[in-house]
Structure formats: structure tokens, C-alpha cells
Amino acid sequence: MLTPSQIRTRGNHLHAALDQVIEQRGWSMPKRRAHQWRSLRALVQHAFEHVPLYQRFFAKAGFIPEMLDDWDDLQKIPILTKQDLRTAAENDLIVSNNRDDIRWLASSGSTGIPARMARTESSLWHYMACNTALFFDWCQGAPLSNGLYLVDMAPDSIDFAAADLLRTTVPDSRIFSVHDPVAKLTRELLSIVPEFISSYPSTLRAIALDLKAQNRVIKKTHLIHLTSEMLDAHTRHLLGQIFPNARLIETYTSTEGGLVAFQCPHDARWHIAETNVICEIVDESGLPTDELGHLVITDLTNTATPILRYRGLGDLARWDASPCACGSSLRSIRQIEGRSAAMLRARSGTLISPYIITNAIEEVPGLAQYQVVQKQPGMLEVRVVAESSAPRQRIENDVKRALEAALAGDVDLQVQFVSKIAAPAGSHKVPLVISELPLAA
């Protein structure tokens, strides 16, 4: 439990960060763009002068900060990968005589390769303030006080750091670890009956399956915030059944980038948090594209381990240049179309988005849970947990029929019934689609 003095100090940090976030939200597009450019130039200069990883990285690419004259020069900064972070020693990732308050964090490894980095306390308070401001938006200025927070409590996760800061305004009794047994989390939810839930899709999906097995429906939950993983159509449908009065809102966050984007409450698109990050979409050659491409981010809020033109999130997206109904001038992406590490391949070699798979079988009756795994091109293994009363032969036929129609017969299918689909060792996330193919295959 925090002492009154600690709460007061933390409250001052949060208020200062909120003042900054609220001011930035009122900026015009030219003012945001000027802020991005100033922050980028300062961050590049800082990395060039003080961070060993970038000193070697820039030297190898023949890059110096003086090459940045305008936005067209952004591509001169070499792209950073997760492998670059993962293989760097800790003392290469921060300033040798660092005096800032920092926290060492590790990414979740959802792309298969976890990496360590450092964040300043000020960047974490900014992250907290951004999420707090969004929460007020979602609640139309009247925040719901009866909340439940399901968080990855691994000590080196960004969500653990955020949960620690969250304790400034939320009691410990409302924050639970996603590593707790599902039965315990279900009991806590039924005890609290929250109006608001913040969770990962896979965690809340597991709880919803448990509630569905108990024939429970939670009508008092009005708002659900989902983050860290993409919300697939099957999980969205399930949550709609168990929490029929809840509005689902998503944010796109990461250890390396903090808050990158948030779902528009008026449209299906995602707005980029442009005062926090510079976002690019590039093709396989690293050049800008208006088509489906790799998401590349630069975090403008963190100087501990600078994140400059980072492609390590592993996500694919495309721009949406049309005006948004909400009136925002923030740049938008239509959707995150899946992690490159989860992209599948047909027999012909064509890439298959994981969302083609999940959208195709979301409505198959009797399907309690599923996971699609690819071990060789043109072949998919569909692991299925069936509802107890559902005929297995019918489920198998329906799954095959739905996928064959969606994939135009370019993939062979094998349906395997299992009793449980568990998260990989060391993770709380249960991926719906897994590719075990080499990335270059």
C-alpha cells in the first residue's frame, strides 16, 4: 500500500503529465508536425552522441544527424530491428553516465523474439497520462469508478510498470495478474461485477469461455478496454454474448513504442498518437508505401533507449487517408492486418492474412476455442476445443467448409480436436494463428 506522501508525489507526476497531454491534444496538424520534427532531431542527436548501439549502427550505415534537412531525409536513418535490440548488451542501450530514473523492460516476445530496453520514468508517466485522457473520452467525461484491471505482472513488463503507476488512482484490490488461474479471475470478476474492464483479448476470452460454461451473462459491464493484442472477430463475438451491454475499445501499445494508436470511437480506423510517435508504413525494401506494409515507429517520448525507425513490432498495416467522421486531423490506419510472424502461405506461395482465417470461422457453431498452426506451406493444422454438447463431425465439416471457401482451396486442412489450448511457456497470450515457417520461406 502506498503512503500518503507517495500518493501525493505520484499525483504530482500524473498531473504534470496530464497537463502536457491535454495541451498537445489541442495542437493543430502543423504544430504537431513541427513538434515531431524537433523531437526527432533532438532524439537522433542524443542517440548519435551518447548511445553506443546507435553510434555503431549509424557509423555502419554512414549516417550522421546533419543529413536530416527535411522529412524526405527520414529514410536516411537506418531501420532498427528487434534482433538489433535483442543482441545488444544493456550498457550499449543507454547513456554510459545515465542519471535519469529508468526502468528496464522486456517486450512480450509476441513476435517470437523478446528484447530488453530501458524507459525513463517521465515517458511512463506520459504513457499513463495518455491512457487516462483516453479513458475520460470513452466515458464522455464521467469516468466509471467500478473497474477491474487484468495485467501482465511480470516485473519487467511495461504493463507491470503501468500498473504500478495506476496504483496512484486505482486500489490494489482491483488489479489482478493475467498469470492467475482463469477460475480465480472469473471469481473475482463475478465478485466485483465491474462497470469497466481493462484486459488483453486472450485473457478476457478465457474468462468469457469460463462464464459461458457457467451460463453467466454480465450485464453491468458498460466498457471494455482491450490492448496489447489484436481483437479477432471470434473473440469480439464471444465478448458480445457474455458482456451484451459493453462497448469494446482498443488501443495499440507496445513496450518499445508506448501508446502508438487508438481506436476511433466513431469509426473502425485507428488514429496514430502523433505527439508520441512518428509512424511509417514501408514495403519490403524499406520504402514508403500506401499499400499493405510493415509498421515502423519512432518513439518521441523516451530518451533512455531511443527507438528510432523501429520495425520490430512485426505488424502489417495500411494507411487510411480519407477524412474521419470524428473530425480528427491525426493520421489513421484502417486496421492492423496482423503480425508478419503470423502471416501464412498458400500452396501457390501467396501470403494469407491471419484475419482471413479468424473471420472465416468465427461463426462456426460449437467452436469454444481454436488455434491455427502452419508448419509447411499450403498446409494448416486447425486445433479445436469443442463445446461439450456439439457434434465433432459437424464442427470439423463446418470448419473445413468455411476455410476452403475463404482460401479458395489453395490450402490443405487438418482438424485436430484437443481438450485445451494453452499459452506458450513464459507468456499469458494464446495466439490464434501461428506460423512455424522460416520468415524467408
What distance in Å separates the CA atoms of residue 307 and residue 79, rounded to the nearest whole number? 10
Q: What stretch of H or E contains 376?
A: strand 367-376
* pLDDT tens per residue, range 67-123: 999 999 999 999 999 889 988 999 999 987 777 789 999 875 544 456 889 999 999
Residue 248 lies in a domain: no
Q: Which amino acid is at 372?
A: V
Residue 374 pLDDT exceeds 70: yes
What pLDDT is recorded for position 393? 94
Q: To 10 degrees, what angle do helices 4-25 and 121-138 make?
A: 70
Q: Where are the alpha helices (DSSP H) in 26-157?
A: 29-50, 52-61, 82-87, 90-93, 121-138
What distance in Å separates the CA atoms of residue 399 and residue 415, rounded to the nearest whole number? 8
The cell numbers describing 177, all together, are 495478474
Burial 41-66 (b: 16+ CB within 10 A, else e): eebbeebbebbbbbeebbeeeebebe
What pLDDT is recorded for position 68? 96
The cell numbers describing 265, all together, are 470511437
Residue 439 pLDDT exceeds 70: no
* pLDDT tens per residue, range 189-247: 999 999 999 998 888 988 998 899 899 999 999 999 998 877 777 788 889 999 999 99
Residue 252 lies in a domain: no
Residue numbers of the domain that contains 382 = 343-435
CA-wise closest residue to 210 among 227, 188, 226: 188
Burial 420-431 (b: 16+ CB within 10 A, else e): ebeeeeebbbbb
In terms of average pLDDT, the best of 34-43, 137-146, 333-342 is 34-43
What distance in Å separates the CA atoms of residue 24 and residue 209, rounded to the nearest whole number? 41
Residue 1 lies in a domain: no
Q: What share of the chain is helix, strand, coil (3-state, %, to 5)?
A: 35, 25, 40
Could you tell me whether strands 102-106 and 116-120 are parallel, antiparallel, or unpaired per DSSP bridges? Answer: antiparallel
The cell numbers describing 258, all together, are 508506448
The cell numbers describing 27, all together, are 495542437
Residue 441 pLDDT exceeds 50: no
Residue 290 lies in a domain: no
353: left (phi over 0), alpha (psi -120 to 50) or beta: beta
Strand partners, 380: 413
Q: Which amino acid is at 248?
A: L
Residue 312 lies in a domain: no
Helix (H, G, I), strand (E, B) or coil at 41: helix
Residue bearing cell 483479448: 201
Q: Which amino acid is at 185?
A: L
* pLDDT tens per residue, range 148-191: 999 988 888 888 888 888 888 888 899 999 888 889 999 999 99
Q: For the chain, how big is the Rg over CA atoms in Å?
A: 22
Residue 427 lies in a domain: yes
Q: What are phi and psi of 108, to 5 degrees?
A: -70, -15
Strand partners, 297: 279, 310
Q: Number of folded domains in the chain?
A: 1
Average confidence (pLDDT) over 139-151: 91
Burial 72-84 (b: 16+ CB within 10 A, else e): eebeebbbbebeb
* pLDDT tens per residue, range 270-323: 999 999 999 999 998 889 999 889 999 999 999 999 999 999 888 889 999 999
Residue 234 lies in a domain: no
CATH number of domain containing 380: 3.30.300.30
What pLDDT is recorded for position 426? 56
Average confidence (pLDDT) over 383-390: 86
Residue 419 lies in a domain: yes
What distance in Å separates the CA atoms of residue 212 and residue 123, rounded to the nearest whole number? 40
What pLDDT is recorded for position 408? 83
